[in-house]
Amino acid sequence: MREKQNTLKILLKSGLLSGVIALSVSMIGMVGLFSQRDMIAGVLTLGQLLLFASPAAFAYLEAVKISKDDWRKGLLAGLFIGVLSAIPLIILVIISTLVNLRQYFVSVSDTLIQILTFNQDVFLGSILLILVMAFVGLIAAGMRYMPIKYRHPIFQGLIWTFGVSLFSEVLSERVRSFFGSFITKIMFKSRATQPLFAIVLFVFIAGITYWQQGHKSSIKDFIDNQPPKKKRQYQLIFLGIGILILIILPLILGTYLSEVINNVGLYILMGLGLNIVVGFAGLLDLGYVAFFAIGAYTMAVLTSEGALGISAFSFWAALPFCVAASVSAGILLGIPVLRMRGDYLAIVTLGFGEIIRIMANSDLLKPFIGGAQGILQIPKPSIGNIVLFKPGQLYYVILIGVLIAAYISWRLRDSRLGRQWMAMREDEDVAEAMGINLVNTKLLAFAIGAGFSGLSGAIFASKLTSIFPHSFNLLISINVLSLIIVGGLGSIPGVVVGAAILVGLPELLREFKEYRLLMYGGLLIVMMLAKPEGFWPSTIQKRELHAFQESTSGNDT
């Protein structure tokens, strides 16, 4: 009896929680805005998907907690959660008929109410909403009782179908340029997938996943099982394929996606630099954008054809000066903070970042770097007479920069210096006692990190052809720090993964407009909760975290 009450309480709680989430999603305007955005043309809009996501997720999660044999109870729980989820929304609908909520909450519009009541009157609409939510909860809970053999392919199929539908705009443009408009019309309709194509895609992906389950062995296992000599050959082959893909990537991706990849590339460059400072040497730097700004401004002043530029330098001739300027700035800013530790370092570097931006913005330096008007007419890089003005061409400049930076940090990681950094990260006092010169080691970390960032800034300036102080705000530092931690601190491939997730994804989701940063914030929290060690952690950190988990779980028992 007691247990039953407890279950009921838990269900009540998560049902209402799911309802409140659905309510929030509606009230901040996401449901209303995205009800115009079709996912699968004429069948499902993004707004509906967002609305039903929370009851579905909660019903499934609650059903997982209930024992596997008790399917009646599980389904009932799903139903219950679905009904409960509808209640906050119904309250919203009822209140909105009494008071004009629009004057307080800008997003509670008539459209939203119409969506929630399915264009019916309040009473009928509420009943419909309860029924639909209950149905969603029931289906989601029902998924739990499907054997995993079928459940897994269905999930995969759903993920792919929704993913393709979400990115329809970009994908349809690509498909059109390769296969012509006839095939595009079969697959996509304006910004959504055609229903038929969605079904085909779902069946195809589900089928493939189902078939794969029997053939578990992956490529990695295959290579690992080869004799050493052959293994090396295979590795070389894969490396070659990888490089080939990197080289022809802009041809596959087209202009828009190349632009996205370029932005990701610039962030990878910065991330690699910050990874040395924070990931290897353990110096928390929140003002990393300063070096980016210095690189960019050096490039601008040296090459600009406008009033403020010297314009005697080409892009390539100016590049070493940009890196040198950033490196010296890194050392100069590093000296005062050498004796600070941990979070004191963080706030002081944050201060430096802000100082640089404010100085660039001020009237004091306006005669030299333009103040708020910035510097204009920076030429794009050119090779011989060819000006690299397309994103697909600039891509190669950034690619080379990233490859060099990645190679340097890869070689540094295992070098004497790299091991000194890591010793310092673990414990400064012990490292010093072991004979490590902390001053040199720290300054080298700052200098190299700043150098990468300066390179990135220089390319950035020449890519945009004009720079303004407001491009160098704190958010860039925060973004770079987030991406190296999401990727896995101290891990070089992690930087690439982190940049792709935190820079590439938001770039592709531009149509989400003001909700982009909301989702970015939510994504950061969810990712850190799910994977505190990052998506591609370095081996050392993975080992440490596991050792730590074992020791804590040992304490609990």
Partner 1 sequence: MRQRFQDIDYLGVVLWLLRTGIIILVIWGSVATIIQNPYSSKTWMDFIVFGVAQGSLYALIAIGYTLVYGVLFMINFAHSEFFMSGIFTATILLANPMKASGFLDSHPFVGLGLITITAIIVSVAIALLTERVAYRPLRKAPRLVPLITAIGASFFWQYFFRGLFGSEVKPFPQIEGLIGKIPFLGTEILINQVVVIVVAIIMLIGLYIFVMKTKIGKSIRAVAEDKDTAALMGIDVDRAISITFAMGAAMAGIAGVLYAMVFRQVHFFMGFIPGIKAFTAAVLGGIGSIPGAAVGGFFLGMFESVGPSLFLQGLGIPAPHQLKDVIAFTMLVLVLIFRPQGILGERLAEKKA
Task: Decide if residue 350 touches partner 1 (CB under 8 A).
Answer: yes
470 binds partner 1 (CB under 8 A): no
Of 6-14, 76-84, 103-111, 290-298, the window that binds partner 1 (rule: CB under 8 A) is 103-111
Task: Find the shortest distance in angstroms from Cβ 510 to partner 1.
Answer: 15
Whose tokens are 């099982």? That residue is: 225
- One symbol per residue from 241 to 280: x for binding partner 1 (CB under 8 A), - otherwise; what is it? -------------------------------------x--
Interface with partner 1, residue 354, by CB under 8 A: yes
Stretch of 166-174, 245-253, 318-326, 514-522 lying at the interface with partner 1 (CB under 8 A): 514-522
Region binding partner 1 by CB under 8 A among candidate stretches 104-112, 158-166, 187-195, 237-245 = 104-112
Applying CB under 8 A, among 180, 207, 320, 342 the residue interacting with partner 1 is: 342
Is 352 a binding residue for partner 1 by CB under 8 A? The answer is yes
State the minimum distance, in angstroms, from the CB of residue 180 to partner 1: 40
Does 30 engage in binding with partner 1 (CB under 8 A)? yes
Which amino acid is located at 390 in the chain? K
Chosen residue from 528, 535, 540, 542 binding partner 1 by CB under 8 A: 528
340 burial (CB, 10 Å; 0-12 / 13-18 / 19+) is middle
Q: Is 57 in the site for partner 1 (CB under 8 A)?
A: no
493 near partner 1, rule: CB under 8 A: no
Closest separation between CB of residue 326 and partner 1, Å?
20
Q: According to the binding rule CB under 8 A, does residue 532 interact with partner 1? A: yes
Backbone dihedral angles phi then psi of residue 187, each to the nearest 5 degrees: -85, -45
Q: Determine the interface stretch with partner 1 among 140-148, 211-219, 247-255, 335-343 (rule: CB under 8 A).
A: 335-343
Beta carbons of 169 and 257 less than 8 angstroms apart: no
Q: Is 480 in the site for partner 1 (CB under 8 A)?
A: no
- Say whether residue 552 binds partner 1 (CB under 8 A): yes
Q: Measured between alpha carbons, how far is 514 from 512 in angstroms, rounded to an integer? A: 6
Can you name the residues that pair with 371 across neighbouring β-strands? none
> Segment near partner 1 (CB under 8 A), from 171-179, 187-195, 334-342, 449-457?
334-342
- Count the neighbouring beta carbons within 10 Å of the beta carbon of residue 189: 18
DSSP classification of residue 511? G
CB-based burial of residue 78 (10 Å sphere; 0-12 exposed, 13-18 middle, 19+ buried)?
buried
Rg of the chain over Cα atoms, rounded to whole angstroms, equals 27
331 belongs to the binding site for partner 1 (CB under 8 A): no
Closest CA to 354 of 293, 269, 311, 439: 293
CA distance 122 to 218: 55
Query: Contact between 486 and partner 1 (CB under 8 A)?
Result: yes
The CA distance from 494 to 488, in Å, is 5
Binding segment (CB under 8 A) for partner 1, from list 169-177, 181-189, 251-259, 336-344: 336-344
Residue 99 binds to partner 1 (criterion: CB under 8 A): no
Among residue numbers 111 through 170, which ones bind partner 1 (CB under 8 A)? Answer: none
515 binds partner 1, rule: CB under 8 A: yes
The angle, 0 to 180 degrees and rounded to 10, between the axes of the packed helices 148-166 and 122-144 is 130
Which of 166, 268, 296, 485 touches partner 1 (CB under 8 A)? 485
By CB under 8 A, tell whether 283 contacts partner 1. Answer: no
* Angle at CA of residue 94, ends 93 and 100, nearest 5°: 80
Considering beta carbons, is residue 186 or 359 the nearer one to partner 1?
A: 359
The answer to the question of residue 53 lying near partner 1 (CB under 8 A) is no
Residue from 362, 400, 407, 510 in contact with partner 1 (CB under 8 A):
362
Collect all residues with Cβ–Cβ distance below 8 Å to 210 and sequence separation of at least 6: 149, 150, 153
Give the binding range for partner 1 (CB under 8 A) out of 117-125, 169-177, 189-197, 361-369: 361-369
Among the listed residues 518, 546, 547, 550, the single contact to partner 1 using CB under 8 A: 518
**CA 8 and chain centroid, separation:** 38
Binding flag, residue 98, partner 1 (CB under 8 A):
no
The CB-of-222 to partner 1 minimum distance in angstroms stands at 34
Distance CA(275)–CA(423), nearest Å, equals: 15
By C-beta, is 207 or 521 nearer to partner 1?
521
Nearer to partner 1, 363 or 414 (CB): 363
Bridging pattern class, strands 386-387 and 382-383: antiparallel
Contact assessment for residue 62 and residue 6, using Cβ atoms and an 8 Å cutoff = no
Would you count residue 104 as binding partner 1 (CB under 8 A)? yes
DSSP H helices in 414-533 = 416-426, 428-433, 438-464, 474-487, 492-499, 505-508, 515-530
Residue choice 161, 304, 482, 538 for contact with partner 1 (CB under 8 A): 482
The CA-atom distances, in angstroms, between 110 and each of 4, 33, 88, 113, 521 are 41, 12, 17, 5, 28
Q: How many residues at the interface with partner 1, by CB under 8 A?
A: 62
44: enclosing H helix or E strand: strand 44-45
Return d(Cα 12, Cα 503) in angstroms, integer: 38
Contacts of 63 (CB under 8 A, 6+ apart): 74, 75, 77, 78, 140, 141, 143, 144, 145
For partner 1, the binding residue among 64, 243, 358, 387 (CB under 8 A) is: 358
520 binds partner 1 (CB under 8 A): yes
Residues that bind partner 1 (CB under 8 A): 24, 27-30, 104-107, 278, 284, 335-344, 346-348, 350-352, 354-355, 358-359, 361-364, 366, 439, 474, 478, 481-482, 485-486, 489, 514-515, 517-518, 520-525, 528-529, 532-533, 541, 545, 548, 552
